[in-house]
């Protein structure tokens, strides 16, 4: 689409004034932005207008389709088994992809997990896995297909040709305060997932203090929007609305989350990480036509661990190599006897980020060993002086600002007082 058919300023004014953009206008706009005819400053103005005034379902559908059309589409039809993917909107301590992919792959289902890197307080799956010596995130399409065909699962970075319009717009949103727009979040996620070519998709949509959209109703709206986009595109799509009010598990960071994931694959690990892994595995297998499989048994009898080791090796990693250990540690302790009543997730994500586990800009490097270990969770009894959280980093100069982020990050009270944990781990299912 090379002819410049519209004046972008007119389109900005339309959204600024609460109007709707037509399908041809959206298709032209995304194409022109991808080609560089529409500048970042103009798209930033339009993104802010969308943030403030929203889009209707037809506009969101058109935006998603235009971003898909900006690049290539993958095709897994040559595989002899069904394909299913999972996407999480991100949260503090959310390492579920690591045990989930090998678990689902145990049951004759291929899992093409295209994942991302962390930005801000939410960690990235690829950053976590790169803590494993030798493991590679960047695979060519033929390499990805080979690992998927041989091992049943792959976790890797999306190629540059997949929805390049979204890649440009995502970076712009992060620097212009428009990340939390439901139309822009939904079209961003679903353009990549639909272009990926998977047959079914399960969404893990977070709400709570550590999520991009803290309010549960906003999370539910996002889930419904994305499920509709998937179904409109012919992809069997469902969503679980899950609680990110407190950190997930006890590890927040990179290598520490890998270690916790391996505990889950060994049949142990924190109860919330294990429960969400099992729930999402069941949802994914049902979407792929494999209802009724005993996923708990596959965790407990070693099948999921064996598959994990095979997938890690297939991507160049050594599953037996020691994980990186930080050079510097700081332990924060309980100030009194009592019960841990509150542990809001956001400060822990910010602290891990400040320790070096995350990045402020997309080209920042991360420390594999940086992160936090939580020694108590809401509802646990604690004693004065008992460790509550251990901070880990390779750079001691990072510790003071991380400690500062954790000021007021927990509340200790008396037995019988209400526990502020945000409610059930899984609040709703949307299909």
Among the listed residues 61, 117, 167, 173, the single catalytic one is: 173
Catalytic (active site) residue 375:
no
Among the listed residues 61, 86, 87, 303, the single catalytic one is: 87
Q: Count how many Cα atoms sit within 13 Å of the Cα of residue 309 in the half-sphere of its side chain.
A: 10
Among the listed residues 166, 204, 272, 421, the single catalytic one is: 166
Catalytic (active site) residue 15:
no
Among the listed residues 192, 224, 282, 354, the single catalytic one is: 192
Catalytic (active site) residue 173:
yes
Among the listed residues 115, 187, 188, 261, the single catalytic one is: 188
Catalytic (active site) residue 87:
yes
Catalytic (active site) residue 167:
no
Catalytic residues: 87, 166, 173, 188, 192
């Amino acid at each position: 689409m090379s002819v410049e058919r519209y004046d972008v300023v007119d389109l900005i004014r339309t959204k600024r004034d609460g109007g709707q953009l037509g399908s041809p206008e959206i298709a032209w706009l995304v194409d022109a932005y991808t080609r560089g005819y529409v500048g970042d400053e103009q798209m930033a103005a339009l993104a802010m207008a969308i943030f403030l005034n929203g889009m209707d379902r037809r506009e969101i559908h058109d935006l998603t389709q235009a971003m898909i059309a900006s690049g290539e589409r993958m095709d897994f039809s040559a595989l002899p088994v069904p394909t299913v993917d999972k996407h999480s909107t991100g949260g503090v301590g959310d390492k579920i992809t690591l045990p989930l992919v090998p678990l689902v792959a145990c049951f004759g289902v291929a899992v093409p997990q295209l994942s991302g890197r962390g930005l801000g307080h939410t960690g990235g799956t690829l950053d976590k896995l790169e803590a494993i010596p030798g493991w590679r995130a960047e695979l060519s399409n033929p390499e990805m297909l080979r690992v998927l065909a041989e091992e049943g699962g792959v976790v890797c970075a999306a190629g540059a040709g997949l929805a390049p319009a979204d890649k440009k717009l995502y970076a712009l949103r992060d620097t212009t305060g428009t990340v939390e727009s439901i139309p822009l979040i939904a079209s961003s996620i679903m353009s990549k997932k639909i272009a990926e070519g998977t047959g079914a998709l399960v969404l893990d949509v977070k709400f709570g203090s550590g999520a991009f959209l803290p309010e549960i109703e906003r999370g539910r709206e996002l889930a419904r929007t994305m499920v509709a986009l998937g179904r409109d595109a012919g992809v069997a799509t469902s969503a679980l609305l899950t609680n990110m009010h407190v950190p997930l598990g006890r590890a927040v960071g990179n290598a520490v989350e890998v270690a916790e994931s391996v505990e889950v694959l060994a049949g142990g690990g924190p109860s919330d990480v294990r429960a969400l892994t099992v729930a999402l595995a069941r949802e994914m297998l049902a979407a792929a036509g494999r209802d009724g499989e005993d996923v708990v048994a596959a965790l407990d009898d070693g099948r999921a661990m064996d598959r994990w080791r095979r997938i890690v090796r297939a991507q160049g990693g050594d599953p037996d190599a020691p994980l990186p250990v930080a050079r510097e540690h700081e332990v924060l302790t309980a100030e009194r006897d009592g019960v841990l009543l509150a542990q809001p997730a956001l400060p822990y994500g910010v602290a891990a980020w400040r320790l070096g586990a995350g990045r402020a800009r997309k080209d920042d490097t991360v420390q594999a060993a940086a992160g936090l270990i939580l020694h108590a969770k809401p509802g646990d009894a604690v004693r004065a002086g008992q460790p509550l959280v251990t901070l880990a980093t390779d750079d001691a100069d990072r510790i003071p600002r991380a400690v500062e982020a954790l000021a007021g990050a927990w509340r200790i009270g008396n037995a019988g007082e209400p526990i502020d944990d945000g409610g059930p781990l899984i609040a709703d299912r949307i299909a």
